[in-house]
Structure 1
């Protein structure tokens, strides 16, 4: 491992001119903190509740660009590159056991206690991953798989669909993206629903496994009682979204990693 040479820019946007400089997210008011800038072509972002780090993939600047894995320590705001994985594409974490999985064009890896990648028996070009009870991943052929006990099997509910990304929520719904369109199917069924209003940039779950959708119209959360997506924030063009132990949003936009800090006192402009 080696330090990631990107100096962190950490500041709090304040209301010095008595105007609101924060963000309302899910009816709560947050201050905006840029915790890392200058991240070249960030692709994937995930918070680990066990070590207070944000893991992310990004492009190294070189004659031959390669996608690398790094983490940002939120206690010190220092970033470190994890070597040993060529063209890292995606991250998934079993938060209960602190197992960190990394997908790449060379297959599947696990990060051990010494922060060294160990290869797992999947030789596939992995594009996206998600962990809920078991590890789910999609490959370059846009097929969706479950990895369990050293074997990969197709996700039965998604056979016949071209899947770019997927997540599972707290009501056994699989949300998946195909060509930036959002679809939903209940585990154990084949009844696929489409949320066609939304052009999707990223999908994520919070610490309660609630499903969030980052789209061109803002950020939405799935309402499992009304079967609709409710808007929770007006921010858009997000590359990735994750949540810390306090369920505060952390997201990637442009070349920035941004953390929202909850303020108990809301802000109201005249």
Structure 2
């Protein structure tokens, strides 16, 4: 079986090969210049290896391109939108007619502001450049406007997700104002789970369910490294049942909206 070609980087790889040929260098020559093997350079040209921005910068220097490869790298990175493991998830999200989500400690990604998302991404134990952080935060915050079917959006949030300061009070004020605007526009429903809820059924972790336009239901659970799809019909049904139980214990959307406004006052 051949290696997988990353379509996002095909154009970049072809340009690398063209510039290398123009410079009269072999893949081995370029590899020596940038401390990569000939095979690694070949994989970059074939787009079976994903280049880093550091790769682009070093290759620009080795080939005296004046920054062409780095600029093309930035263009491809922005166009790529989401990491590979998120593509199916985002595709399903955009086809959904109903999204129900429970979060314990964070504002859901669909509802995050740019500054909130960027702060969260920066705190992850993954090295990213400022440009990568900006791109990922922008892509996350643009997801809500990209939903195709105007789905019903209903979220159950633990109160702590809104009372804990992420970053600075200013970040939280902006995030809470954003939630209030979405609620007032009737774009979303939010039900808060009070910290003193006596029968909290959702302590095993965050999850979401989605109903697609064909009536199919899918679910995802959150973990340290991202989202895991739930494929078993029985487990999807269990997630849907759990969401109903969460709604039964949480505050109503109307009372939750008032509660969110009060939380917002605490960040003045």
TM range (shorter): under 0.3
TM-score (norm 2): 0.25
Higher Cα radius of gyration: 2
* Structure number with higher strand proportion: 1
More helix by share: 2
